[in-house]
Amino acid sequence: MSQQSRSTFVITDPSEIVQALVGLKDVRVLAYQRHGPDVSLVIEQVLAEIRCPSCGALARVKERPLVTYVDLPVFGAPMHLTWKKHRLRCGNPNCARKSWVLADHRIAAKSCLLTTRAAKWATEQVGTGRSVKEVARELGCEWHTINDAVLTYGTALLEADTKRLTKTTAIGLDETNFVRRVEQRTSYATTVCDVANHQIIDILPTRHFVEVAKWVADQGLDWRSRITYGALDMSPTYAAVYSAMLPAAAQVVDPFHAVALANRALDAIRRRVQIEQLGHRGRKDDPLYRARRLLLRGEERLSDEAAARLASLLELGDPTAEVAIAYRVKERLRDFYRESDPVVAEAILADLRDRCLHKAMPPEIRRLGKTIRTWFAKLCNFHLARITNGPTESLNNLIKRIKRIGFGFRNFENYRVRALLYAGKPNWRVLGSIVVR
């Protein structure tokens, strides 16, 4: 293939160079100012005749107010754009309209303190993982100025990018908690994931049946008919949402949550046996306390040395072998997930369930057995759906990361937009055409 010759554009006129810094049709640069490290461009719109929006009479310029916006940095230095606006008044003395200021969404949206291009740039920076604080420092402005812009343009992008929602065939409902800083109380949210494409579709400020079911209903019949699998975290509420709203979808217990449940039973037994044996909670030299991390690790990830250390710690701290039993139960559940033959896998789980339910088992294990019994078919559906192991786990990690970056999420909408920009895979190219007035 022959190489296309690229046309080079050389500008030598200094005033044209300054014009190029703005690059908007019918916007003229009046001055380029420098005060120390601060650079500021003064601009105005080139007006044709303007008519009154109420009566259509010719308008006259009344005032030229100056409004300053934060713009993209130039050569590493923060830049401001000072917009010499036009306040107009109607030429018709009988008109009720007093005066109005001419707007231009290409330069800056009405309520935004950033220029449109700076606001879009900041939205993508924050949306892809940088902190608001860092971006605010780079643009030389307040935290709130950046955060407000990210919320405004982020919300508009998520609304415009409708393809984000439509491609999924398998969703997951997941409970997420977050602490409201101001009131210091925990709120619950429902994260809706696209488990086929590993992204977050939406976050709802509730975990209640009626609202979650309404969200599913609102997606429309086409969308609902495409969903073949619904992943869930053994929550009866979400199971009821699926049964009511997506009756044709197979319900699949998310492996991450099932293994987490077995790990919790193991941990509870370790703590109980610890107290029964030594009369106090784990201290750093106690064998069971020293074994706590090894116990939660997958058996195949233990070196020979680590496995030997775990065996000797259990020998010291677990004379009744209850912790060892719980460890085997957890590993057996992991075998169930590793098995590739659905028939063999179902037999493994049935055997594990029956063993757990045996009356000689510790109470924590019997409880786990009851949970396996209740959710048996939906656990086995994992092998039917083959929803790849771990999407929800990695999404949960993303959510945690979002919470860390933005520590101090004061309100839900802030959290939702940040999480969706970061883990919802929006099409950033759509941002270019977003218009906020």
Q: Which is nearer to Zn ion, 57 or 430 (CB)?
A: 57
Give the span between the Cα atoms of 33 and 79, in whole angstroms.
Answer: 10
Helix (H) or strand (E) segment spanning residue 271? helix 255-278
Q: Which of 11, 17, 31, 55 binds Zn ion (CB under 5 A)?
A: 55
Give the span between the Cα atoms of 23 and 434, in whole angstroms.
Answer: 18
Q: Of the listed pieces 8-16, 87-95, 238-246, 329-337, which binds Zn ion according to CB under 5 A?
A: 87-95
DSSP at 122: H
Q: Of the listed pieces 47-55, 116-124, 147-155, 188-196, which binds Zn ion according to CB under 5 A?
A: 47-55
Least distance to Zn ion, CB of residue 98, Å: 9
Q: Are 349 and 336 in contact (CB under 8 A)?
A: yes
Asked if 90 interacts with Zn ion (CB under 5 A), we say yes
Sign of the CA dihedral running 288, 315, 363, 279:
negative
Q: Which is nearer to Zn ion, 97 or 366 (CB)?
A: 97
Q: Are 191 and 395 in contact (CB under 8 A)?
A: yes
Asked if 50 interacts with Zn ion (CB under 5 A), we say no
Helix (H) or strand (E) segment spanning residue 81? strand 77-84
Q: Are 329 and 365 in contact (CB under 8 A)?
A: yes
Q: Of the listed pieces 94-102, 260-268, 292-300, 356-364, which binds Zn ion according to CB under 5 A?
A: 94-102
Q: Which is nearer to Zn ion, 90 or 171 (CB)?
A: 90
Asked if 52 interacts with Zn ion (CB under 5 A), we say yes
Residues numbered 318 to 347 that lie near Zn ion (CB under 5 A) are none
Helix (H) or strand (E) segment spanning residue 217? helix 209-218
> Helix, strand, coil: what percent of the chain each, to 5?
50, 20, 30
Q: Which is nearer to Zn ion, 3 or 94 (CB)?
A: 94
Q: Which is nearer to Zn ion, 59 or 139 (CB)?
A: 59
Q: Which is nearer to Zn ion, 103 or 436 (CB)?
A: 103
Q: Look up residue 357 and give its two tokens.
A: 């339910």
Q: Look up residue 360 and give its two tokens.
A: 């000689």
Least distance to Zn ion, CB of residue 67, Å: 24
Q: Of the listed pieces 15-23, 49-57, 107-115, 210-218, which binds Zn ion according to CB under 5 A?
A: 49-57
Q: Which is nearer to Zn ion, 52 or 356 (CB)?
A: 52
Asked if 88 interacts with Zn ion (CB under 5 A), we say no
Pairing of strands 185-194, 250-253: unpaired
Q: Of the listed pieces 96-104, 158-166, 229-237, 341-349, which binds Zn ion according to CB under 5 A?
A: 96-104
CA angle 71, 73, 74 (to 5 degrees): 120
Q: Which is nearer to Zn ion, 90 or 313 (CB)?
A: 90
What Rg, from alpha-carbon coordinates, does the chain have? Answer: 30
Q: Which is nearer to Zn ion, 99 or 388 (CB)?
A: 99
Asked if 95 interacts with Zn ion (CB under 5 A), we say yes
Asked if 99 interacts with Zn ion (CB under 5 A), we say no
* Selection from 96, 100, 93 nearest residue 50 by Cα: 100
Total number of residues that touch Zn ion (CB under 5 A): 8
Give the span between the Cα atoms of 290 and 294, in whole angstroms.
Answer: 8
Q: Are 155 and 430 in contact (CB under 8 A)?
A: no
Asked if 58 interacts with Zn ion (CB under 5 A), we say no
Asked if 54 interacts with Zn ion (CB under 5 A), we say yes
Q: Of the listed pieces 16-24, 83-91, 258-266, 327-335, which binds Zn ion according to CB under 5 A?
A: 83-91
Provide the binding-site residues for Zn ion, judged by CB under 5 A: 52, 54-55, 57, 90, 92, 95, 97
